[in-house]
């Protein structure tokens, strides 16, 4: 069993860089499909035996990059990165993946990717250049010394997800990778429909700019404003938490990312932040707060915001706030504002009436 020392360290990328559990899941799926147990993979990568089982809410980006290399060795898979990217699903890209489903065309899809990809991972940064009839997508890795599996997984994932969004296979386009060519390149040809250029200055894909106007079939464009607003809030909270906003900011960002999945619970949030429950509670107490207070305040703020979104019904809002029953949301809202959510929405067009309720 390979047990090589780590060559990827937190300093290799950005401090605090992480990937979500949803983005990690395709790698775990590929590994288990090859008969490798997750504890075996974790131990070989220098992690705790149970670090990957169950799938964590998030993982240090440096650990994810190292896992790609170790998994390729364990599975004797020289194209593991391509196979991981090929295994992506809608949920892989978390909140912003849902938003992409509401985009009108691929130009909008790429623009949203440039801004919100950090909600799924901190592995690198995308940019898009349009020069006349030619568009060029580029991906700048935050881990330039990583194995080729990282860039392979990113571009394979984009290809697969793009095919899924379009409803038909996208035309093959020229692709360039910074890494050198492996001995066998047949998997690249199968997946991308063309042979990439290797040893390039940057990871990129060039294509006809007309592709940007391709529509996204069955896009629910009416949900775009709500989903975009939600993604923007998640991004701002994440940036604030990573810039040293304190433990309450970190907890709030983690809660926001997990509310709709009904995972905004103390044990899961503590694990997401790499802390024990007791340590997290102690840190929050030192900030004159508690987990329940942060959770309630987060729901309080979001409830008012969502109720002003007419396209969301009360059941939708209860779900987004992590309540299993609408009645539980109604009860909580009335305890905060003194009126039911329905009454708040009904009278929100007349602020004076709400002022009389002290809202």
332: in domain: yes
What whole-number percentage of the chain has pLDDT above 90? 44
Strand pairing category for 18-20 and 134-141: unpaired
Buried b / exposed e over 291-325, threshold 16 CB at 10 Å, is beebbeebbeebbeebbebeebebebbbbbbbbee
State whether 180 and 250 are in the same domain: no
State whether 198 and 140 are in the same domain: yes
Indicate the pTM of the whole model. Answer: 0.70
| 86: pLDDT strictly greater than 60 | yes
What CATH number is attached to the domain comprising 325?
A: 1.10.10.60
State whether 117 and 177 are in the same domain: yes
Summarize pLDDT for 179-204 with one digit per residue, the tens: 999 999 999 999 999 999 999 999 99
98: in domain: yes
State whether 199 and 252 are in the same domain: no
Cβ–Cβ under 8 Å, residues 344 and 305: no
State whether 109 and 173 are in the same domain: yes
Tokens 């590929």 correspond to what residue?
30
DSSP state letters, 81-124: HHHHHHT--GGGGHHHHHHHTT-SBHHHHHHHHHHHGGGTB-SE
DSSP alpha helix (H) spans, the chain: 21-33, 38-44, 61-74, 80-86, 94-100, 106-116, 148-166, 186-192, 224-242, 247-258, 266-272, 277-286, 291-307, 314-320, 326-337, 341-347, 351-355
Summarize pLDDT for 2-11 with one digit per residue, the tens: 443 333 333 3
Domain count for the chain:
2
Summarize pLDDT for 324-355 with one digit per residue, the tens: 888 889 888 888 888 888 888 887 645 444 44
State whether 180 and 312 are in the same domain: no
The per-residue pLDDT of the chain, averaged, comes to 85
State the residue range of the domain holding 284.
244-355
148: in domain: yes
225: in domain: no
Summarize pLDDT for 99-115 with one digit per residue, the tens: 888 889 999 999 888 88
């Amino acid at each position: 069993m390979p047990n090589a020392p780590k060559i990827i360290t937190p300093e290799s990328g950005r401090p605090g860089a992480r990937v979500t559990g949803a983005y990690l899941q395709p790698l775990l799926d590929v590994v288990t499909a090859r008969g490798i147990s997750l504890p075996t993979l974790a131990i070989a990568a220098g992690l705790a035996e149970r670090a990957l089982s169950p799938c964590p809410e998030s993982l240090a980006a440096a650990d994810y990059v190292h896992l790609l290399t170790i998994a390729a060795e364990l599975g004797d898979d020289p194209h593991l990165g391509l196979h991981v990217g090929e295994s992506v699903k809608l949920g892989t890209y978390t909140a912003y993946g849902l938003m992409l489903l509401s985009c009108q065309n691929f130009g909008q899809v790429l623009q949203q990717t440039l801004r919100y990809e950090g909600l799924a991972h901190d592995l690198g940064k995308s940019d898009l250049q349009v020069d006349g009839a030619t568009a060029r997508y580029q991906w700048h890795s935050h881990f330039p010394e990583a194995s080729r599996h990282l860039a392979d997984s990113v571009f394979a994932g984009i290809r697969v997800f793009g095919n899924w969004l379009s409803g038909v296979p996208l035309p093959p386009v020229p692709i360039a990778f910074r890494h050198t060519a492996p001995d066998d390149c047949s998997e690249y040809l199968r997946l991308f429909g063309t042979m990439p250029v290797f040893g390039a200055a940057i990871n990129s894909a060039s294509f006809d700019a007309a592709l940007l106007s391709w529509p996204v079939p069955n896009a629910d464009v009416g949900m775009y404003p709500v989903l975009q607003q939600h993604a923007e809030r998640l991004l701002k909270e994440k940036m604030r938490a990573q810039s040293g906003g304190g433990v309450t900011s970190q907890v709030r960002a983690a809660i926001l990312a997990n509310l709709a999945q009904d995972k905004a619970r103390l044990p899961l949030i503590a694990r997401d932040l790499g802390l024990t429950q007791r340590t997290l509670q102690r840190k929050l107490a030192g900030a004159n707060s508690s987990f329940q207070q942060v959770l309630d305040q987060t729901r309080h703020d979001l409830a008012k915001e969502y109720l002003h979104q007419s396209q969301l019904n009360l059941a939708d809002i209860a779900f987004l706030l992590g309540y299993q029953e609408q009645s539980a949301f109604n009860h909580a809202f009335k305890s905060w504002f003194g009126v039911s959510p329905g009454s708040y929405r009904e009278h929100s067009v007349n602020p004076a009436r709400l002022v009389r309720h002290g809202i």
